[in-house]
């Protein structure tokens, strides 16, 4: 036995390679081999890095959180993270693949809190920060073993032993160095800003965090109210004095903090009179709102309310009013109408916007501009505090109901009104459905709240970020100037501090006495030790920048001559995205170590994550890299879409709307899953629905055909030498790489292989992974459904010298093709490719070879073009057969091919005839053949929208000409209709096949021009041959079922009807040749053979049946 050339243990394999492989078993064996052989390390180390790393391909592995098990998103990203480095390694580059772990932030804290059974920050403080952070440290590494098993099983090569963790002191030191670098450049500041705020986790979020996940914004019902503020009387305008300024808000809980009311200076407002809601005494009041909004308040204000006055917003500016609640009465500069043209519209509400400076971004900008100090009656936990006494301790969302109740009672003049001011009116209470932001970690609804935070002043250098984005190659390309580019253009300052416990510290110390202000920023252990005389040490005596160790470092304020104030660290920790954004330099402890290495390996060559990371990791890396190095952090990136469940919804464990990954691995294999994901539109930015059928389709389309090609090769190569007088048990043929064959099919396959190498190289260079998969799928179809099927007889050794030479050429061609093809598929299907390549060559690993070069393979563009054209003709003709219900094994008389330059197909006529199974192929030039003779016509359609602007009214003349047949195509291709010349784009020409009365002819149009006509008449002679070929197929199946080898000679007896017997007699030579029947007999009666051992019965076409007796001959 010649193949496979490496020992294998395929159970039940004929001659060493099974016809029906169990891919998961093959994969497990390959994975075990890789581990024994240390193949991954060898693949990296055999590639030279170059003097300054110029031959290295720098890949950044985005760090996942290890406190949860991997999911489909990790699986998808992991496959790409493996595929691209494998490809680049085969291209000769050295590609280090260092795994990383994201360990800080709220995910770790929430997991630790769950394990500790605590829910609040107060409980954390009661437990102690040190104990809590110890729990965080344990939780983040909880599933590292499971991750390693998972990543290994998916055949992803990555260095776990040299991983980096964001909790390591070296990583954290680089992080604080980055902070200090930003501070030294004047790009960091402390400020009070209104930010998205999670009251559950008691920390602000950055604006970019709201755009990372589609589920951050969820539909939510909230109460909306329209409230009338009582305008103060000035004595100057009787219409406005004592009127009610109507404001609309979807956050009633912010009304106690109202400080101003915004109007549009150019908007028209009216004062109308209407009844006060809920007042039984018929009391009326005057209400002020935008005139454009009157129609929305017909129910409360009447169908046609009496207009008492009209004003522009500019005329209302400066008027004061009584706040709706009394908590802050007398607040300086507050409770007046201000202009805010960019913030006020008439598309909803009343055209007047309630303003609470501490609870809205625009509110804060306006109150700052107007010199109004914000008020903050809401604590870190999202509950009301002093002076809002009635609602103190109540979560703001829960306070909506009692606030509305108090407003309603005050309006009616009865009941408990709380601190609602007299004259305040609740005009309307409604339910409002809107898309509302939620915390991406705990999923609770956020509030907007003023907080003190440290910010990176992104607005200072966002233009430079846009410029540097131009140096990055994006897949898909539209993300560059689309989702990512637009985000950069509108980038806001980044809040980088969090009021939490487990994370890199904000390396800022400030004086605790405002009378003696001082701020110190540190960027290294050395700087900290210099000023504090010691390092922050944990319980093990190791330097540790985590809380509470870093918090314990204090020193006297050098700027305080009294010596009473102390420098204390700002208690916040850094946003976890600051950690991950620092990954390129922090993973190598830059600038404290590896400075020269970093300079030659930055920016990275490649990263990949899902589309949401345009607001996350991609963004934060780009921000920090631009600010610190004036360079992009990476030069190429794949931005993939989102993996969805089989129902098109988000994957849900409770709904079980996706196939379990382990089950897929155990049933279909990791390569099957890889192919399904890598060949999908998800790598071009689209979303992907995961179904078991989709995964298995990849197995059917690519894995099985590829394996069948390998099986076919081994089956016949091992049987070589058993033909002719040699009998069974050949010595086998050891094929070799060769492109010397002159046989057209061999030359065609090798030329197509060259095109595959050229195309996939360009596609993978451009990160078009899905495109590369398409190219491989198309080539495998050519290999299996054209080359092997059409060359099958050539692989059988007939015993003659001439036949043996052609057989060896076929083997060498197929060997060469499989060897090159498995190198191309190695990054796409690493496990199956390894199995085939090693079995084919006997060498160590396909992943230690070089990517194939087009120079290895011959080019023959004319042959490829002609053969591809012939394949298209055969495909269309076969479809005609199918539509006419004429089976492939039934020979037909003639196929007429009418095409441009028909003579160029002369060399392929015999192939077409054999493939379509016709006795004759007639080739006619399209220019000279009479289309109408074959029921083929051309139809002209005039595009009125395109031609109208040029032809004007005459376009109708052209349309009429196209419909009446008054049109023509000149020799130069000019199209004229109704006497009017049309230009390209104004018309379309379509070839139409019309049904005719001639039932013995079927016609179909060819793509690219021309048509084929199939003679469908079946004569008795043709029917007999078709029946004989049906018998051959049934005999071959009987051979397989009997377990015979491909080279075994047999004694064959067949019985059936009189027609079947006559067919077998007439075509006996064909039958015995095709079935290797040394002895043959037949009888015109089905029952002449009794069913039993060695005899089977099969149903053929047209109601025929055959009994077959097969016996192996010695």
215 phi/psi in degrees, rounded to 5: -90, 0
Q: Is the Cα dihedral 311, 315, 318, 319 positive or negative?
A: negative
**Cβ-Cβ contacts under 8 Å for 40 (sequence gap 6 or more):** 34, 157
Which one, of 588, 542, 549, 456, lies nearest residue 180 by Cα? 456
DSSP for 162-222, written as a single string: EEEETTSHHHHHHHHHHHHHHHHTT-EEEEEEEEEEETTTTEE--GGGGGS-TTSEEEEEE
User: Are the beta carbons of 218 and 308 closer than 8 angstroms?
Assistant: no
DSSP for 833-896, written as a single string: HHHHHHHHH-SS-GGGSPPP-GGGS---HHHHHHHHHHHHHHHHHHHHHHHTT--TTS-EEEEE
Segment holding 402, helix H or strand E: helix 396-412
User: Are the beta carbons of 572 and 497 closer than 8 angstroms?
Assistant: yes
User: Are the beta carbons of 163 and 101 closer than 8 angstroms?
Assistant: yes
The two beta strands, 352-355 and 892-899, are unpaired
Q: What is the DSSP letter of 420?
A: B
Q: Report the C-alpha gap between 1083 and 902 in whole angstroms.
A: 47
User: Are the beta carbons of 474 and 639 closer than 8 angstroms?
Assistant: yes
Q: How many CB atoms lie within 10 A of CB 663?
A: 10
Strands (E), 50-165: 98-101, 159-165
- Residue positions annotated with a catalytic role: 63, 102, 577, 613, 617, 650, 653
Distances (CA, A) of 414 to 280, 326, 410, 443: 11, 18, 6, 39
How many distinct helices (H) and strands (E) make up the chain? 36, 40
Q: Report the C-alpha gap between 439 and 889 in whole angstroms.
A: 65
Q: Report the C-alpha gap between 502 and 518 in whole angstroms.
A: 26
In SS3 terms, 775-821 reads as: HHHHHHHHHHHHHHHHHHHHHCCCCCHHHHHHHHHHHHHHHHHHHHH
Q: How many CB atoms lie within 10 A of CB 371?
A: 9
Which one, of 479, 736, 490, lies nearest residue 609 by Cα? 479
DSSP for 1024-1057, written as a single string: HHHHHHHHHHHHHHHHHHTT--TT--EEEEEE--
Distances (CA, A) of 987 to 944, 950, 954, 1009: 9, 13, 14, 17
Which one, of 704, 788, 812, 38, lies nearest residue 820 by Cα? 812
Task: Give the burial class of 330: count Cβ atoms within 10 A of its Cβ; 0-12 exposed, 13-18 middle, 19 or more buried.
Answer: exposed
Q: Report the C-alpha gap between 1068 and 1110 in whole angstroms.
A: 16
Q: Report the C-alpha gap between 574 and 500 in whole angstroms.
A: 9
Q: Report the C-alpha gap between 822 and 815 in whole angstroms.
A: 11
Q: What share of the chain is helix, strand, coil (3-state, %, to 5)?
A: 40, 20, 35
Helix pair angle (830-841, 670-678), 10° resolution: 120
Is residue 137 classed as helix, strand or coil in its secondary structure? helix
């Amino acid at each position: 036995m010649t193949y496979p050339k490496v020992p294998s243990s395929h159970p039940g394999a004929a001659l060493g390679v099974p016809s029906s492989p169990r891919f998961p078993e093959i994969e497990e064996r390959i994975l075990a081999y890789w581990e024994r052989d240390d193949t991954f390390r060898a693949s990296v180390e055999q590639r030279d890095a170059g003097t300054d790393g110029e031959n290295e391909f720098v890949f950044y592995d985005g760090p996942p959180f290890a406190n949860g098990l991997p999911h489909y998103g990790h699986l998808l990203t992991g496959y790409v993270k493996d595929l691209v480095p494998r490809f680049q390694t085969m291209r000769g580059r050295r590609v280090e693949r260092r795994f990383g772990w994201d360990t800080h932030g709220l995910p770790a804290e929430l997991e630790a809190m769950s394990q500790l059974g605590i829910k609040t920050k107060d409980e954390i403080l009661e437990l102690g920060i040190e104990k809590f952070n110890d729990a965080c440290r344990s939780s983040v590494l909880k599933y590292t073993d499971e991750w390693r098993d998972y990543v290994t099983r998916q055949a992803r090569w990555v260095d776990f032993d040299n991983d980096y963790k964001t909790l390591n002191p070296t990583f954290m030191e680089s992080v604080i160095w980055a902070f200090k670098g930003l501070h030294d450049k004047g790009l960091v500041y402390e400020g009070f800003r209104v930010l998205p705020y999670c009251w559950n986790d008691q920390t602000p979020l950055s604006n970019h965090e709201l755009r990372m996940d589609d589920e951050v914004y969820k539909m939510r019902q909230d109460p909306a109210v329209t409230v009338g503020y009582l305008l103060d009387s000035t004595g100057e305008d009787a219409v406005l004095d004592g009127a009610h300024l109507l404001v609309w808000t979807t956050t009633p809980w912010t009304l106690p903090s109202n400080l101003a009311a915004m109007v549009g200076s150019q908007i028209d407002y009216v004062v109308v009179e209407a009844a006060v809601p809920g007042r039984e005494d018929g009391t009326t009041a005057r209400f002020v709102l935008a005139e454009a909004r009157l129609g929305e308040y017909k129910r409360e204000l009447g169908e046609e309310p009496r207009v008492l006055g009209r004003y522009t917003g500019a005329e209302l500016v400066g008027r004061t009013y009584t706040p709706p609640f009394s908590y802050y009465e007398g607040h300086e500069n507050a409770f007046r109408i201000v202009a805010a043209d960019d913030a006020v519209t008439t598309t909803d509400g009343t055209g007047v916007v309630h303003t609470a400076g501490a609870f809205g971004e625009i509110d804060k900008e306006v109150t700052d501009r107007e010199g109004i100090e914000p008020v903050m009656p809401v604590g870190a936990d999202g509950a009301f505090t002093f002076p809002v006494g009635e609602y103190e301790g109540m979560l703001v969302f829960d306070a909506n109901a009692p606030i509305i109740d108090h407003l309603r009672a005050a309006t009616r003049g009865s009941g408990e009104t709380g601190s609602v001011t007299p004259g305040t009116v609740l005009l309307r209470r409604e339910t409002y459905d809107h898309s509302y932001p939620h915390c991406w970690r705990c999923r609770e609804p956020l509030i907007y709240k003023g907080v003190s935070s440290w910010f990176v002043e992104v607005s200072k250098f966002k233009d430079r970020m846009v410029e540097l984005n131009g140096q990055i190659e994006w897949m898909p390309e539209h993300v560059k100037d689309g989702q990512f580019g637009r985000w950069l253009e509108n980038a806001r300052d980044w809040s980088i501090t969090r009021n939490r416990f487990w994370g890199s510290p904000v390396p800022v110390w400030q004086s605790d006495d405002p009378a003696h202000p001082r701020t110190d920023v540190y960027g290294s252990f050395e700087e900290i030790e210099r000023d504090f005389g010691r390092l922050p040490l944990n319980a093990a005596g190791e330097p540790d920048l985590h809380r509470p160790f870093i918090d314990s470092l204090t020193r006297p304020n050098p700027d305080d001559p009294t010596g009473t104030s102390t420098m204390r660290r700002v208690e916040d920790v850094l946003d976890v995205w600051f950690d991950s954004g620092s990954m390129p330099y922090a993973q190598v402890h830059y600038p404290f170590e590896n400075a020269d290495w970093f300079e030659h390996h930055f920016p990275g060559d490649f990263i990949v994550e899902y589309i949401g990371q345009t607001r996350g990791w991609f963004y934060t890396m780009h921000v920090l890299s631009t600010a610190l190095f004036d360079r992009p952090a990476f030069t190429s990136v794949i931005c993939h879409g989102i993996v969805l469940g089989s129902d098109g919804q988000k994957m849900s464990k409770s709904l079980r709307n996706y196939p379990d990954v382990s089950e897929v691995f155990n049933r279909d294999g990791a390569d099957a899953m890889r192919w399904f994901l890598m060949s999908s539109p998800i790598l071009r930015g689209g979303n992907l629905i995961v179904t078991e059928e989709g995964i298995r389709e990849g197995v059917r389309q690519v894995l099985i055909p590829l394996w069948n090609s390998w099986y076919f090769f081994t089956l016949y190569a091992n049987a070589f030498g058993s033909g002719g007088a040699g009998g069974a048990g050949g010595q086998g043929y050891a094929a070799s790489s060769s492109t010397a064959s002159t046989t057209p099919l061999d030359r065609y396959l090798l030329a197509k292989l060259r095109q595959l190498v050229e195309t996939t190289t360009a596609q993978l260079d451009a990160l078009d992974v899905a495109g590369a998969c398409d190219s491989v799928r198309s080539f495998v179809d050519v290999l299996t459904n054209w080359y092997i099927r059409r060359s099958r007889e050539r692989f059988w050794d007939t015993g003659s010298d001439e036949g043996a030479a052609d057989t060896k050429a076929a083997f060498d061609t197929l060997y060469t093709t499989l060897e090159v093809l498995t190198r191309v598929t190695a990054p796409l299907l690493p496990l199956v490719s390894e199995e085939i390549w090693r079995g084919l060559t006997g060498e160590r690993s396909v992943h230690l070879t070089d990517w194939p070069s087009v120079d290895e393979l011959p080019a023959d563009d004319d042959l490829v073009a002609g053969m591809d054209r012939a394949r298209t003709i055969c495909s269309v003709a076969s479809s005609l057969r199918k539509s006419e219900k004429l089976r492939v094994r039934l020979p037909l008389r003639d196929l007429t091919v009418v095409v441009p330059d028909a003579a160029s197909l002369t060399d392929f006529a015999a192939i077409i005839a054999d493939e379509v199974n016709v006795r004759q192929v007639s080739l006619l030039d399209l220019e000279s053949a009479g289309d109408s003779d074959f029921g083929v016509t051309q139809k002209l359609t005039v595009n009125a929208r395109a031609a109208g602007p040029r032809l004007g009214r005459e376009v109708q003349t052209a349309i009429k000409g196209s419909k009446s047949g008054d049109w023509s195509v000149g020799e130069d291709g000019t199209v004229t209709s109704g006497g009017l010349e049309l230009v390209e784009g104004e018309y379309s020409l379509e070839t139409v096949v019309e049904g005719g009365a001639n039932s013995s002819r079927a016609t179909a149009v060819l793509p690219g021009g021309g048509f084929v006509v199939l003679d469908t008449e079946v004569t008795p002679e043709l029917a007999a041959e078709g029946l004989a070929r049906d018998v051959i197929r049934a005999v071959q199946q009987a051979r397989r079922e009997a377990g015979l080898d491909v080279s075994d000679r047999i004694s064959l007896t067949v019985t059936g009807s009189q027609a079947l017997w006559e067919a077998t007699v007439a075509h006996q030579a064909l039958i015995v040749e095709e079935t290797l029947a040394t002895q043959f007999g037949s009888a015109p009666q089905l029952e002449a053979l009794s069913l039993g051992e060695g005899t089977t019965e099969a149903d053929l076409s047209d109601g025929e049946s055959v009994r077959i007796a097969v016996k192996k001959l010695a």
